[in-house]
Amino acid sequence: MTAPDYDVVVFGATSFVGQILTRYLAEYLSGQAETLRWAIAGRSKAKLEDVRRSLGAAGQSLPIIVADAANEAQLRVLCAQTRVVVSTVGPYALYGEPLIKVCAESGTDYCDLTGETQWIKRMIEKYEATAQQSGARIVHCCGFDSVPSDMGVYFLQRQAMQHFGAPAAHVKMRVKTLKGGASGGTVASMINVVKEAAADPSLRKELVNPYALCPRGHGFTAHQHYVKAAEFDLDFDAWIAPFVMAAINERVVHRSNALSGKAYGNPFTYDEAMLTGVGFKGRLTALTLVAGLGAFMVGAVISPIRGVMERFLLPQPGEGPSPAAQLAGRYDLRFLGRTEGGQTLRVKITGDRDPGYGSTSKILGQAAASLALDHVKNGIKIGRGGGFWTPATIFDERFIERLTRHAGLRFEVI
């Protein structure tokens, strides 16, 4: 069998996130001893050439592949040329399935930054058996949702085993700091999820199931706390409010526990929320966040209001935070783990860019590089076989080292 031409192809390189990811990879690879053969792909050759020109000297010899997200024949040609495809073409529920199908059938490894629970579940149900047979390793949620959460719990559990000889049976993640803007693509994905749920009662039920992404027969029965209102958290001595990414992050963490043979324990519980402060001000902030999130959800369901929001209030697809805003963004996530014996451990994960774009592009780039380089030896895949994996079950300490050295994240015990 002929070796592929490339280690990684960035599919959707002309999208808002795709352009950031492409710039990051060009900068990263131009200054590293690591060698990665890569190319960019999308449906418009002219726009891909614009992206390549924007990279200056780093992009002069960067190959271009023309492929449309809806054209399976073109996607098969693309996949035949690479070990890994990293996709930024969203909303994935609208545009992502053909590439998953082709990767699963061709044995091509894949990663993306989706946070669309309902779509991920559909893809697992339709293509996991095919991926297992072909050897394709499919890894969703390789951006801010859900790498800091999933790898944060992985890191905490490794520390718990080292310190206590037992996993943390109960883990909380609290967002202490979150500074960054949203792009039109992210907003479109969120609105699409709400629209689908509003039209499908079975989907609404599925979306509130904390084990929605776990394999059949997972056997988990522990009641999971769902933060849906303003609450006072005694463990953090502060008020908390719902965290919008908890809907995907919590389900990814539970899938990681299931796929790792219940390494975190059978009664494992996990929940996420935002810290809003102490006293009256903290409570008021929590209540305001709850009201704002509720208003967004209601507006997304009601067609006339949704139209006004999309036209006048929300960023359009292709729009997002400026480079200066990405650089000024940051986040600080705090984890608390408690063993069945009552021993506690606290961990913090920080990122040095806005979470959705500046940081996500670096995380996603390192996920693709890790798949292509850390999990291949002499051209043969090593480690996990084919299937749908989470970040914490496909990656390991080498990925944490990559994130620390090259993506601006820090993993610390506090």
> Which of 310, 331, 354 represents a domain boundary (last residue)?
354
Q: Residue 112: which H helix or E strand, with range?
A: strand 109-112
Quick: pLDDT tens for 385-409: 999 999 999 999 999 999 999 999 9
Residue 327 in domain: yes
Residue 254 in domain: yes
Give yes or no: residues 278 and 169 share one domain: yes
Quote the mean pLDDT of the chain: 91
Give yes or no: residues 297 and 389 share one domain: no
Q: In the prediction, which pLDDT does 87 show?
A: 98
Task: Report, as an integer, the average pLDDT of 24-28.
Answer: 94
Give yes or no: residues 183 and 275 share one domain: yes
Q: Please report, for the domain that includes residue 84, its CATH number.
A: 3.40.50.720
Task: Report, as an integer, the average pLDDT of 25-50.
Answer: 92
Residue 412 in domain: no
Rounded Cα gap, residues 412 and 347, in angstroms: 6
Give yes or no: residues 159 and 303 share one domain: yes
Give yes or no: residues 257 and 169 share one domain: yes
Q: In the prediction, which pLDDT does 403 show?
A: 98
Task: Report, as an integer, the average pLDDT of 81-91.
Answer: 95
Q: Inform me whether the pLDDT recorded for 172 exceeds 70.
A: yes
Q: Residue 330: which H helix or E strand, with range?
A: strand 330-338
Give yes or no: residues 124 and 227 share one domain: no
Q: In the prediction, which pLDDT does 34 show?
A: 84
Quick: pLDDT tens for 282-325: 999 999 999 988 777 666 666 666 566 556 555 665 566 778 87
Q: Inform me whether the pLDDT recorded for 182 exceeds 70.
A: no
Residue 1 in domain: no
What range defines the domain where residue 304 resides? 147-354
pLDDT-derived band at 252 (thresholds 50, 70, 90) equals: very high
Q: In the prediction, which pLDDT does 199 show?
A: 75
Give yes or no: residues 111 and 217 share one domain: no
To which residue do tokens 């999820």 refer?
193
Residue 413 in domain: no
Residue 289 in domain: yes
> Which of 354, 374, 394 represents a domain boundary (last residue)?
354
Judged by average pLDDT, the poorest of 12-16, 199-203, 218-222, 329-333 is 199-203
Q: In the prediction, which pLDDT does 356 show?
A: 85
Burial class (CB in 10 A: 0-12, 13-18, 19+), 354: buried
To which residue do tokens 């529920």 refer?
93
Closest CA to 370 of 42, 139, 155, 59: 139
Q: Inform me whether the pLDDT recorded for 249 exceeds 90.
A: yes
Give yes or no: residues 137 and 157 share one domain: no
Count the domains in the chain. 2
Q: Inform me whether the pLDDT recorded for 25 exceeds 70.
A: yes
Give yes or no: residues 152 and 136 share one domain: no
Residue 315 in domain: yes
Residue 414 in domain: no
Q: Look up residue 354 and give its two tokens.
A: 């806005």
Rounded Cα gap, residues 242 and 246, in angstroms: 8
Quick: pLDDT tens for 136-156: 999 999 999 899 999 999 999
